[in-house]
Structure formats: C-alpha cells, structure tokens
A = this chain, B = another copy of it.
Amino acid sequence: MLLKKQGLRLTPQRLLVLDIIHEFDGPFTAEEVLRQTQARMSGVDKSTVYRTLELLEGLGSIYGMEVGGRTLYHHVDDMRHHHHLVCRKCGKSMDCDEGLFVQLEALLEDKYGFRVDFKHMVIGGLCRECASEG
C-alpha cells in the first residue's frame, strides 16, 4: 500500500479516512470527509482529517483544487482529463482535452520564461446550452 513507504504509519484514523474517500464517486470536500469520519469514529480531530487529506494529496492519490473558496478533492485515477470547464450559469462541469493547452503553454514559456502548472485548470464560462439561451 502507498502509505507503507517513507515510514508512514497506517493508523485507524487514516484507514477510516481512506475508506470514506473511496466511497465517494465524484469530487468531495474536506468538510464531507470530516463529517463522515467523526460520525463513524468519535473523537477524531479535524486537524487529523485535514492532515490526512494533505498527506494523500502529497502522495498523489487525490488532488485538491480551489473552487469558490473551498477545496474540491478528486481521486487522481478519475483524472485522465485534468482540465475542467465549469459553466457559471448552470454549474455543470465538463472535462477538457489537455492537448488544447500545449500551444499556450509554449507561448508563456517563450515570452515570459514562465513555466506553467497546467496540470489542473478550472476554467469558467458558459456551456453551449446556457450560451444559446440568454
């Protein structure tokens, strides 16, 4: 298991958080994980849950992105498509091909020497349906 390397310890709290996370199909928030954890094992501190989430992100098994001031976590294996188009009207989110970004990536490096972190982008706008309405 991924936790075994680097002297990381497999505590009951971590096991529980891992369990809970695996039960989510889609994206989830730290808050949801915290609530579920405390419901199933009383006394678990929020700092433990937050630190576990942070750890799992560091290990690369989940990925958190800030949306509207909160962090939304995704399972990394769900994320062949790292970019998301989020409609500001209906709130729907769709995956987006990474290939579309390579040109912009190259331009930014050329022009500014800026090496972009384009692993996970969240782009706001209007989806086809909402754009055609009003």
Q: Using a CB–CB distance below 8 Å, which chain A residues touch chain B? A: 66, 68-69, 85, 87-88, 94, 96-97, 100-101, 103-104, 107-108, 111-118, 123-128, 131
In the complex, which residues of chain B have a beta carbon less than 8 angstroms from the beta carbon of A112? 85, 94, 96, 127-128
In the complex, which residues of chain B have a beta carbon less than 8 angstroms from the beta carbon of A131? 113-115
Query: Chain B's nearest CB lies how many Å from the CB of A128?
Result: 3
User: Could you name 22 residue pairs across A and B whose Cβ atoms are closer than 8 Å?
Assistant: A69-B69, A85-B108, A85-B112, A85-B114, A85-B116, A87-B114, A94-B112, A96-B108, A96-B112, A100-B104, A100-B108, A101-B104, A103-B104, A112-B127, A112-B128, A113-B131, A114-B123, A114-B127, A115-B131, A116-B123, A117-B124, A117-B125
